[in-house]
Amino acid sequence: MTTDDFSRNLDGQIAVVMGATRNQGRAYAVMLARNGCRGVAVHYHGEMSRGEAEETAAEIAHLGAEPLLVSADLTHVSEVVTLFDAVEQRFGQLNIVVNTVGKVVKKPFVEITEVDFDQSFAINSKAAFFCMQEAAKRIEDNGRIITIGTTLQAATTGLYAVYAGSKAPLEHFTRALAKEIGDRGITVNTVAPGPLNTSFFYPVETAESKAFLSQMAPQNRLGEIDEITPLIEFLVGPGGSWVTAQTLLINGGFIAR
């Protein structure tokens, strides 16, 4: 099945993508516009990210959807609420929520500081929880809620304790929320990619660690965003209606279960 097979199946829907300035967030926001969403809210954090958010918005507008730029620090619940308020006020509805926000700390367990711990859980766990909570309050029946986790949630590996550990709660949040709102036709899933060839991956890695992580996959390479996007595209579409409460590992065989 090709991307064209899914084309325009989201006509009239409204989406919000957290962390939509680059990498996965931008790819998913653009995909949602291409598939017919009437409006796509582009979340970014602070003025330093505004330029990239505007680039995402321009791509969305080029595809015929209406972009909405919203800046928010998602570690503050009040700003999560403000983000969803802005979407509701502009578009009057909400159908799709995709949260790609995350923070990587790569350190030996004994070197992780309290600041590392608090920041990681604030971004990877707390922000995700309250975005899911606010989405559940506002999303239309048959809506879609997707949070981006990490394959490292399922891996036995050192150095990523606080990153994988702060993403691990997403599995439990996802199962609970899917059960609580599933009778409205809403699906809730976590997508957990393996290492991807993105600017999110490289800052904490070395040439040696990249080579090691690449060879963990049978194809001996990192993944590409374009290899994750079709799964998001399926989950938000009508064909994804029976997939919920899942943590979906998509990692080229890095980890299988």
Strand ranges (E), 154-212: 187-193
Average pLDDT of the residues of the chain? 94
pTM equals 0.94
**What is the per-residue pLDDT across 112-123, written as a single tens digit (0 to 9) for each?**
999 999 999 999
Contact 104, 204 (CB under 8 A): yes
DSSP assignment string, 7-35: TTTTTT-EEEEETTTSHHHHHHHHHHHHT
**What is the per-residue pLDDT across 75-111, written as a single tens digit (0 to 9) for each?**
999 999 999 999 999 999 999 999 999 999 999 999 9
207 burial (CB, 10 Å; 0-12 / 13-18 / 19+) is: exposed
The set of catalytic residues is: 163
Contact 157, 223 (CB under 8 A): no
pLDDT-derived band at 201, boundaries 50, 70, 90: confident
Share above pLDDT 70 across residues of the chain, in percent, rounded to a whole number: 97
Side chain identity at residue 187, one-letter code: T
CA distances from 65 to 31, 34, 52 (A): 11, 8, 18
Check whether 168 has a pLDDT greater than 80. Answer: yes
Pairing of strands 39-44, 66-71: parallel
151: part of which helix (H) or strand (E)?
Answer: none
As a CATH number, domain 3-250 is 3.40.50.720
